[in-house]
């Protein structure tokens, strides 16, 4: 499933594709959303934002369309007079005279009237990307009472903690912060809490800019030049079971936490 940074990149692409031109087409395969969208034709395109792994299309009167790609949803761009031949179910269309943004296969699409909300939006925690939160803000969030007693290996997948962090970011953030999945926020001193906040901030934005590469940018570039495959230089530890840790040369281990695979270097990330 795409994580927050991937959806943030998609949101930027949709926004660029639509620009500021009036909508020439706005339609949805789900009738209630379709009816609400139909009256938007001729008006300005929505502002496209993300909340974690969800994408929101916000119209200027406060009405929003909520979409969640889940496993299969995919945004595709095309000329407005041409539909790509995908074999997928077309679920949502937004077009201007220049470009179409097409959402295929997503099953979660909902219309939210002005002033209304959606259960997902209620549950979502801090979204570092769309909120523009800095390191101090994130460190304060991590220290909140409701999170203090939960192990980071579980907490980091909870969308009510940091919306948009998914499975690869969980392993990468813990490695960057030199923390074990067993650490709880209450085990951390101020400096460790700040390191964790900095790791979250750095890696989420790095992933947006690089298209999902979380490894140190210089190292990733060198390894790429040396002929390494993307999947081997992309991450610090994620999907690198039994390979050498880039920091200490020890073996990266694969474990399971919250039912998902987690990778870590036991030497660089000792248990508390
Ligand atoms: Zn190591």
Q: What is the per-residue pLDDT across 49-104, written as a single tens digit (0 to 9) for each? A: 999 999 999 999 999 999 998 888 999 999 999 999 888 999 999 999 999 999 99
Q: Is 224 a catalytic residue?
A: no
Which one is predicted more confidently, 107 or 28?
28
**What pLDDT is attached to residue 173?**
98
> Where does CATH 3.20.190.10 sit in the chain?
4-123
Q: Is 217 a catalytic residue?
A: no
Q: What's the CATH number of domain 128-264, 1.10.8.50, 3.40.50.980, 3.20.20.70, 3.30.70.1900?
A: 1.10.8.50
CB atoms under 10 Å from CB of 1, counted, come to 13
Q: How far is the CA of 246 from the centre of ligand 1 (A)?
A: 7
Which one of the listed residues 9, 53, 234, 240 is annotated catalytic?
53
Nearest in space to 132 (alpha carbons), one of 68, 210, 201, 57: 201
Q: How far is the CA of 220 from the centre of ligand 1 (A)?
A: 17
Dist. CA 186–CA 150, nearest whole Å: 9
Check if the beta carbon of residue 141 is closer than 8 Å to that of residue 127.
no
pLDDT digits (tens, 9 = 90+) for 160-211: 999 999 999 999 999 999 999 999 999 999 999 999 999 999 999 999 999 9
Q: Is 3 a catalytic residue?
A: yes
Strands of 69-151, DSSP E = 74-78, 90-95, 100-104, 108-112
**What pLDDT is attached to residue 54?**
93
CB atoms under 10 Å from CB of 42, counted, come to 9
Which one is predicted more confidently, 83 or 269?
269
> Where does CATH 1.10.8.50 sit in the chain?
128-264
Query: Crossing angle for the helix pair 190-210 and 217-225, nearest 10 degrees?
Result: 40
- Stated pTM of the model: 0.94
Which one of the listed residues 221, 260, 270, 272 is annotated catalytic?
260
Burial of 188-202, coded b for 16+ CB within 10 Å and e otherwise, reads beeebbbbbbbbbbb
Tell me what the mean pLDDT of segment 253-257 comes to: 98
Which residues make beta-bridge pairs with 205? none
Q: Is 260 a catalytic residue?
A: yes
For 85, half-sphere exposure in the C-beta direction (CA atoms, 13 angstrom radius) is 0
pLDDT digits (tens, 9 = 90+) for 199-247: 999 999 999 999 999 999 999 999 999 999 999 999 999 999 999 999 9
Q: How far is the CA of 252 from the centre of ligand 1 (A)?
A: 7
**Cα dihedral sign for 173, 177, 183, 187?**
negative
pLDDT digits (tens, 9 = 90+) for 105-148: 988 999 999 999 999 899 999 999 999 999 999 999 999 999 99
Reported as type and span, the H/E element at residue 142 is: helix 135-142
Q: Looking at domain 4-123, what is its CATH homologous superfamily?
A: MutM-like, N-terminal (3.20.190.10)
**Cα dihedral sign for 86, 105, 4, 178?**
negative
């Amino acid at each position: 499933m795409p994580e927050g940074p991937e959806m943030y990149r998609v949101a930027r692409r949709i926004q660029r594709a639509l620009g500021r031109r009036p909508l020439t087409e706005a339609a949805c395969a789900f009738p209630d959303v379709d009816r609400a969208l139909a009256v938007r034709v001729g008006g300005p395109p929505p502002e496209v934002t993300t909340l974690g792994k969800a994408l929101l299309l916000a119209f200027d009167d406060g009405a929003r369309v909520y979409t969640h790609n889940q496993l299969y949803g995919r945004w595709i761009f095309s000329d407005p007079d041409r539909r790509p031949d995908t074999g997928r179910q077309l679920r949502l269309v937004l077009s201007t005279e220049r470009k179409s943004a097409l959402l295929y296969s997503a099953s979660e699409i909902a219309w939210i009237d002005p002033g209304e909300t959606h259960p997902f939006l209620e549950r979502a925690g801090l979204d570092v990307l769309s909120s523009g939160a800095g390191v101090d803000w994130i460190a304060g969030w991590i220290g909140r009472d409701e999170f203090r007693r939960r192990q980071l290996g579980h907490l980091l997948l909870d969308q009510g903690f940091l919306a948009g962090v998914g499975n690869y970011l969980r392993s990468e953030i813990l490695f960057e912060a030199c923390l074990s999945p067993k650490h709880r926020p209450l085990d951390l001193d101020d400096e460790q809490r700040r390191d964790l906040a900095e790791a979250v901030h750095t890696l989420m934005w790095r992933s947006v800019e690089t298209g999902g590469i979380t490894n140190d940018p210089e190292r990733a570039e060198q390894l790429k030049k040396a002929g390494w495959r993307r999947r081997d230089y992309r991450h610090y530890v994620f999907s690198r079971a039994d390979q050498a840790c880039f920091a200490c040369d020890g073996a990266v281990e694969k474990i399971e936490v919250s039912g998902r695979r987690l990778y870590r270097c036991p030497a660089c990330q000792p248990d508390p």
